[in-house]
Amino acid sequence: MTAMQGARRRERRQRTALVPRRRRVARIRPGALPGTLEAPESMAGQPPRITVIAYGPDTHVEREVARIDEALAEGTPASVRWINVEGLGEPDVLARLGERFGLHPMALEDALNVPQRPKVERFEASFFVVLRMVRPGPEVEDEQVSLFFGRDWVVTVQERADWDVFGPVREALRQRRGRARDAGADYLAYLLLDAVVDAYFPVLERVIESVEALEDEALEALPETLPRIQQARRNVFTLRRAVWPLREEIAVLERADAPFVAAETRVCLRDSYDHAVQALEVIESLRETLTNVMEVHLSAQNQRLNAVMKVLTVMATLFIPLTFIASIYGMNFEGMPELRWRYGYPSALALMTVTAAGMILYFRRRGWW
């Protein structure tokens, strides 16, 4: 192993030790009543970033507010209002949204207790959708997005405020592209869901590139290949956990008979369903490929180990008769022949040399070496 490879391995170990794994199970305090809103411990007290967009065919207002009441006061009766909350540090914000739009307390609890399994829940006048955004990187990270929407409003709640995939949707509303500002809140919910689905594909492309590189490295049986294969498997698992339930979610929304979900929006959801199926097919293919890569890597390691053991076995076999000859002539008993012979030492060495050469020639003819 070169010094550079050793430095890379030490750096990777330090990075793994400093960056803890994200929690994969929702935090539920034992004994808490259903519908209790509590901020995650790591975010408690951190004010969220709140943005509001109110738009119609001829109007568009977008601004960031400091208090949730300012966002609730924005808009006109004829416009669609989209409130985006980034951060889970203040449960009172979600409680206030629940009071204003009639959101169920259990749905608000699911929005705070992350991560939840992606799902869709239908209520009397609204839908609750749980999605998972993914961001590219050496380790694929996922983030929960809770989406509530009704007749003329949409509320999105994100775990963190440092990144999202809704930029194209905001730009479409600003520039009045397509039907973004002419349709209702259901179409905006579709655009947000479609943005999450479309964001999977750049991440998939990077994972595909890494898996293709691993296919070439697997035959070399390098020690650092195995951790990279395991990292790729974790990335694929993260993507699968996000995409697998998505087909069912979109199918539920497509079959919804709610009066505030237009028929045109259901048609658009079919395209998102196709994209979700396509992403899932790629993920399943990557899982099979990584399994094959792991098997090839282990086979290459075993083959290299067998080659080393073969050489060691041949060397040990060569020294067995030489050790036998040396042990006999090293006993120094009285009456041994050739013990005081002048040419005994060179004759013993010559016998060992001839024996070793004959064994090597025999091994080569049999194809053992």
Residue-wise pLDDT tens digits, 157-174: 998 888 889 999 999 999
Which residue, of 299, 323, 349, is where some domain finishes?
299
Looking at the structure, do residues 355 and 214 belong to the same domain, yes or no?
no
Asked whether the predicted pLDDT for residue 20 surpasses 60, the reply is no
Same domain, 337 and 356: yes
Which amino acid, 131? Answer: L
Higher local confidence (pLDDT), 123 or 8: 123
Is 7 domain-assigned?
Answer: no
Residues 96 and 245 in one domain: yes
* For range 300-314, the mean pLDDT: 80
* Same-domain check for residues 230 and 115: yes
Do both 328 and 183 map to the same domain? Answer: no
* Over residues 62-85, mean pLDDT: 85
Q: Is residue 63 part of a domain?
A: yes
Per-residue pLDDT band at 15 (split at 50, 70, 90): very low
Burial-class residue 289 by CB neighbours within 10 Å (0-12, 13-18, 19+): middle
Span 1-20, mean pLDDT? 44
Please check whether residues 322 and 358 belong to one and the same domain.
Answer: yes
**Does residue 18 form part of some domain?**
no
Of 299, 330, 356, which one is at a domain's C-terminal end? 299
pLDDT score recorded for residue 137: 77
- Note if the bond before 321 is cis, omega within 30 degrees: no
Domain of residue 359, CATH code: 1.20.58.340
My answer on whether 183 and 329 are in the same domain is no
Domain final residue pick, 267, 283, 299: 299
Least confident span in 11-15, 67-71, 270-274, 361-365: 11-15
d(CA 60, CA 74): 11
45 and 173, same domain (yes or no): yes
Distance separating alpha carbons of residues 281 and 240, to the nearest angstrom: 10
Q: How confident is the model at residue 30 (pLDDT cuts 50, 70, 90)?
A: low
Gap between the Cα atoms of 278 and 198, Å rounded: 11
CA 107 to chain centre: 26
What DSSP designation does 89 have? S
Q: What is the mean pLDDT of the chain?
A: 83
Both 233 and 313 in one domain: the answer is no
* Cα first-last separation, the chain: 26
The answer to whether residues 266 and 353 belong to one domain is no
pLDDT surpasses 60 at 12: no
Tell me the C-alpha distance between 300 and 291, whole Å.
Answer: 14
Residue 8 CA to residue 3 CA, distance in Å, equals 9
Average pLDDT over residues 81-92: 91
Q: Output the pLDDT for position 185.
A: 92
The CATH number for 139's domain is 3.30.460.20
219 and 317 both lie in a single domain: no
d(CA 356, CA 51): 84
Name the residue range of residue 247's domain. 37-299
User: For 289-299, what is the mean pLDDT?
Assistant: 87
